[in-house]
Amino acid sequence: MADRRDVEQRRERILAAAAELLETRGIANVSRRSVAEAAEVTIRSVSSVGSHRVDLLREVVSGLPFPPTSQRIQQQAADAADNPMSTILTVARDAFGAPASVWDVRELQAVVLAPFDDALAETVRERIMLRWEAAAAVVGQLRSAGAVDADIDDDAATLHLLAVGAGLALLEPLVPHSTEAAAWLSLVSRHLESLAAVDPPGLAYDGPRIPWRVRVLASASPGATARVLRVLALMRADVRSMLSHTHAQDQQLLDLVLDVPANITGSAIESALASVSRRSIVMRGSGDDAQDLFTQVLDGATDLVANPDSAPAAAAALALADSWRVLPASSGPDSSAEVMRLQWTPDLHVVLTRKAAPFVDVERQRASALLRLVDALANKPEGTGGFGWRITLKDGIPIDIRLARPADADAVAAMHERCSDDARYQRYFAPVSAWREDQLRRLAGGHRGATLVAQTLDGEIVGLGNVFPERPDSTESAELALIVEDSWQGWGLGASLMQRLIELAERMEFENLVALVLATNVKMMALLENTGIDWRRDADPELPATVVRLVAQLGSAQIRDNAQVS
C-alpha cells in the first residue's frame, strides 16, 4: 500500500518537473536526465513514466487544465447566461492580450508534434474535441440569435473560432507585435458581423408602421451601406427610398425614408444607427414620405412654382432642419455648425437650425439648388436691385452679380487662389496664401448683411463683395469690403459691386458705412471717391497705422455708376 503511494507520489513529482521544464525550456531541451535531476529521482524512474520525451509531453498535456479564456467558452457553452456575441468579443480581446490564456504553451507543443506520434495525436485530439464541442455550442447560440448566416456551415465557423486562438498563440511570440488591441477587436467584430445573416430570421412584422426620415453619415464603402441596412432590417424597418451621396473624401450621406414599426422610438433608431455610422439625423416623416424621394422633390418644386413663399419651408425640409425662420437680412445668427443662413432675397434671409447634427456640404448644395430655382421663378427684375443684376463691363463683357449661395464656397475659394498676393493682402491685411475652408464659407455668405458674387456667363466667380454689421450686434454701422480677381480689374466691376453693396446697406437701413482700407491702396481710395458719397477719415487707435478707417453716412448718397446697367 505504502509502496503504491510512493510510486504515485514519485510519478507526480516527475510529471510536475517535466511540466515545468516543458513550459520553460520546451521539448527540444528536455531530456529524461534533466527531468530526473529536477525531480530528484533516477532516470529509470522517469522512464517508467515516459520512455521518451514525447511520452512525457503526452502525460503532462493529458492532465493540464484548460487555460482560463478557453474555459470561458466552455462555460458559455454549458450555460448560456451571457450573450454569446459579447462572450466571443471578450474572449477575442483576452486572447489577443494573452494568447497563452487560450492555449497553454505545452499543449501547443503537443499540437505541433501530434502528426508524428499516434499516441500523442490521440491525446491531443481528445482535448481538441472538448474545445470543438464548446465552440460549436457557442456557434449554435449565435445562430439561434440570427448572428450566423444560413450559408455559413457550423463546422466552418467552429473551426475558424478554434484556429484563430491557436494561430494567435503559435505566432504571437514570433511576430512584431505592432497591432493595436482596438484595431484587433474591430477586426473581430467586423468579422463576426460579416457572418451574420443578411436576412435575420423571425423579422416578419404586420403591425402598424410610422414613416421616418433618416439621414446617415457613414464611411463611403458598400460595406458601410450594408451595415446600415442590416441594422435597419433588424429593427424591421422597411426602406421605402434610399439615396447615397459622396461626402468629403471618404464618407457618404445616405438619405432614407423608412416605415418603422410603431413601437420603435426615434431614439431607438438613433442608437441602433450609432453603432454603424458616424452620425445620423432621425426625424418623424410625413404623409409625403409615401412617395419616393424624387417624386417628393419634384412635387416640392411644383408647390414652389404655385407658391414662392413656401421656399423657406421647402429649404428646411430639404436640409432636414429642426426649425426655420425668415429674418431681415441684418438680424439673427450667422451661419455656424448648427445654423444655415441663406440669402433668400436681398432683404430677407432664411435661417435654418439643426441641433442634432452639423449641416454637411451636400445639404448646403441642395439649399443652393433650391435658391437657384427661387431665383429663376422670381424672373430677375434686371437692373432694379431684385435678386440679381446683369452688367456689361467697359470691354463689353457681360457679368452677373447676384446674392451668394452656400454652394459658391468652392468657387470663391478658387477665385482667391487665382488672386495675387497683393490683392489678397489689400483685402484682408494679412499675407494669407492658404485659405482655410471655414473662413471661405463665411466669406461666401451665411452672415447678416449681404454677400454678392460676380460671375461670368460661364459660371466662374471673379469678384466678391460683402457688406456686414461692423460689430456683432451693430445695426447702425455696416462694413463694406470687396475683391476683384486681378485679371478682371480695371473694367468697372469693382465700381459696380460697390454700388450694389451700398444699395443693399441702404435697404437694410444701416446708418453708416465703414471701409477699412490700406493707406497705400490707391485703387480702392479712387473707387470710394467715385461713389459720390462723402467719406471722412475716422481715427481708430485700435487699427494699425497703415489702415485708414473711412466712414460715410447713408441715405443721401448720390451714387455714380461706373458700369452700364442693362
Closer CB to ligand COA, 27 or 413, in the complex: 413
Residues 535-564 binding ligand COA (CB under 6 A) are 562
* Complex with ligand COA: residue 148 or 393, whichever CB lies closer: 393
**# chain residues binding ligand COA, by CB under 6 A:** 23
Interface with ligand COA (CB under 6 A), residue from 483, 502, 505, 554: 483
CB of 485 to ligand COA, least distance (A): 8
Alpha carbon distance 541, 543 (integer Å): 5
Q: Work out whether 481 is an interface residue with ligand COA (CB under 6 A).
A: yes
Burial 138-156, CB ≥16 within 10 A → b, else e: bbbbbbebebbeeebeeee
Minimum CB–partner distance for residue 228 and ligand COA (Å)? 47
All three cell numbers of 427: 483685402
Whole-angstrom Cα distance, residue 457 to residue 391? Answer: 11
158 contacts 143 by C-beta, under 8 angstroms: no
3-state secondary structure of 380: coil
| Min CB(390)–ligand COA separation in Å | 16
List the one residue from 523, 547, 549, 559 that touches ligand COA (CB under 6 A): 523
Residue 492 binds ligand COA (CB under 6 A): yes
Minimum distance, C-beta of residue 425 to ligand COA, in the bound complex (Å): 8
CA-CA-CA-CA dihedral for 478, 355, 237, 227, to nearest 10: 90
- Region near ligand COA per CB under 6 A, out of 8-16, 177-185, 325-333, 486-494: 486-494
- Quote the least distance from Cβ 542 to ligand COA, whole Å: 17
Give the separation between CA 93 and CA 55, rounded to whole angstroms: 34
Residues between 427 and 446 with contacts to ligand COA, criterion CB under 6 A: 427
With CB under 6 A as the contact rule, which of the stretches 192-200, 285-293, 402-410, 420-428 interacts with ligand COA? 420-428
Pairing of the two strands 512-518 and 477-484:
parallel
* Piece of the chain touching ligand COA by CB under 6 A; list 129-137, 160-168, 282-290, 423-431: 423-431
Q: Is 490 in the site for ligand COA (CB under 6 A)?
A: yes
> Is residue 451 a contact residue for ligand COA (CB under 6 A)?
no
Residue nearest to ligand COA (CB): 494
The nearer residue to ligand COA, 197 or 393, going by C-beta atoms, is: 393
Can you state the angle between helices 68-78 and 84-97, rounded to 10 degrees?
170
532 is an interface residue for ligand COA by CB under 6 A? no
Q: Tell me if 524 contacts ligand COA by CB under 6 A.
A: yes
Binding flag, residue 449, ligand COA (CB under 6 A):
no
The Cα–Cα gap between 491 and 535 comes to 23
- Min separation Cβ 381 and ligand COA, Å: 23
Is 467 a binder of ligand COA (CB under 6 A)? no
CB nearer ligand COA, residue 71 or residue 477: 477
Stretch that binds ligand COA, among 80-88, 235-243, 493-501, 533-541 (CB under 6 A): 493-501
Of 312 and 492, the one with the shorter C-beta distance to ligand COA is 492
Residue (of 274, 85, 271, 98) closest to 191 by Cα position: 85
Tell me if 251 contacts ligand COA by CB under 6 A: no
Strands 535-537 and 547-553: antiparallel
Which one of the spans 10-18, 78-86, 228-236, 519-527 is the region binding ligand COA (CB under 6 A)? 519-527
Alpha carbons within 13 angstroms on the beta-carbon side of residue 298 total 5
Least distance to ligand COA from the beta carbon of 563, Å?
Answer: 7
Annotate each residue in 32-51 with x if it binds ligand COA (CB under 6 A) or - if it does not, as one string: --------------------
Cα distances (Å, whole numbers) of residue 62 to 9, 22, 29, 126, 405? 18, 14, 20, 9, 76
Report the C-alpha gap between 133 and 107 in whole angstroms.
18
Residue closer to ligand COA by CB (options 401, 517) is: 517
Count of helices and strands (H, E) across the chain: 20, 16
Residue 72 and residue 135 in contact, taking contact as beta carbons nearer than 8 Å: no
DSSP character string of 229-271: HHHHHHTT-EEEEEEEEEETTTEEEEEEEEEEETTS-HHHHHH
Task: Indicate whether 522 belongs to the interface with ligand COA (CB under 6 A).
Answer: yes
Of 434, 410, 411, 437, the C-alpha closest to 424 is 434
Return the number of the residue (184 or 429) whose C-beta is nearest ligand COA: 429
Shortest Å, Cβ 517 to ligand COA:
5
Q: Is 517 in the site for ligand COA (CB under 6 A)?
A: yes
Distance CA 130, CA 65 (A): 12
Indicate whether 383 belongs to the interface with ligand COA (CB under 6 A): no
Does residue 489 bind ligand COA (CB under 6 A)?
A: yes
DSSP letter for 210, please. E
Q: Binding of ligand COA at residue 367 (CB under 6 A)? A: no
Helix, strand, coil content of the chain in percent (nearest 5): 50, 20, 30
Residues that bind ligand COA (CB under 6 A): 423, 426-427, 481-484, 489-495, 517, 521-524, 526-527, 530, 562
